[in-house]
Amino acid sequence: MSTIGKSVRMERIFDRNTGNAIVIPMDHGVGAGPIKGIENLQETVNKVAEGGANAVLGHMGLPKYGHRGYGHDVGLIIHLSASTSLAMDPNHKVLVTTVEEAIKVGADAVSVHINIGAEDEFEMLQGLGQVARKCDEWGMPLLAMMYPRGKKVRSEYDVDVVKHAARIGAELGADIVKTNYTGDPETFREVVKGCPVPVIIAGGPKVNSDRELFEMIEGSLEAGGRGVAIGRNVFQAEDPTNLIRRIAKLVHGGMSAEEVIEADKKA
């Protein structure tokens, strides 16, 4: 295993000083099309990079914009999984890109999406295991998006299913796990405690206010989470650059949600 390669690349995703990360997923174009905020990928990457995002995440069309050659540097995570909202089963994620292909375009990490509880869960788990072995071979960090989704899952935010999903990702070789926030620090602490690799939270559906978003981030960090992977709630914001600067005050600056909001009022 190339542990040095993984260590070098992980530093392009996680801030050296805080050990936390702000990742902005932009893989939605395959699943949902050119939705608001990502019609122009280059423009969006510029906005989030200038705001201080640690990394952007997307499919193979993203590299031409991810490493910009100017301004703030931003890490590049290539997403290997795909499905579309038009499919008979949108939860059926398949591998469409290989680790080697991601390496060729300069990726700093790769990601896969696994729906725990889906009817074809076994295929996605098999793919996760295979990708993890390749990542070990090449020294490539692997981010596993672990979501509880299926007929037996009553709530995607229930702590029992979320901590199970997160643990599966770590057990099968992920270096970073992205999963749902369970709603409060007490329950999310169980998720973090049960997962031996860094856990970052998904942004989920569009929230109603910045306060709601900030409180979710604050709660996850309080529980031991290591950052965020927020897509729509950032790139569909009125000012994504400013929003990321404010999120950075939480993730990297140690401020509370209330402190960030009060600072905005004084500005």
Whether 89 is catalytic is no
pLDDT tens, 82-120? 999 999 999 999 999 999 999 999 999 999 999 999 999
Q: Which letter does DSSP use for residue 34 in this model?
A: S
Q: What pLDDT is recorded for position 66?
A: 64
Three-state DSSP state, 161: helix
Q: What pLDDT is recorded for position 191?
A: 98
Measured distance CA(266)–CA(4) in Å, rounded: 45
pLDDT tens, 204-237? 877 889 999 999 999 999 999 999 999 999 999 9
Q: Is the pLDDT of residue 174 over 80?
A: yes
Q: Is the pLDDT of residue 195 over 60?
A: yes
Is the separation of the CB atoms in 243 and 234 below 8 Å?
A: yes
Q: Is the pLDDT of residue 34 over 60?
A: yes
Three-state DSSP state, 218: helix
Domains of the chain and any CATH numbers: 3-262 (3.20.20.70)
Is the separation of the CB atoms in 230 and 184 below 8 Å?
A: no
Whether 27 is catalytic is yes
As beta bridge partners, residue 177 has 144, 199
Annotated catalytic residue: which of 6, 93, 178, 249?
A: 178
Annotated catalytic residue: which of 108, 147, 163, 175?
A: 147
- Of the two residues 204 and 44, the one the predictor is more confident about is 44
Model-level pTM? 0.96
Three-state DSSP state, 31: helix
Q: What pLDDT is recorded for position 69?
A: 73
Whether 65 is catalytic is no
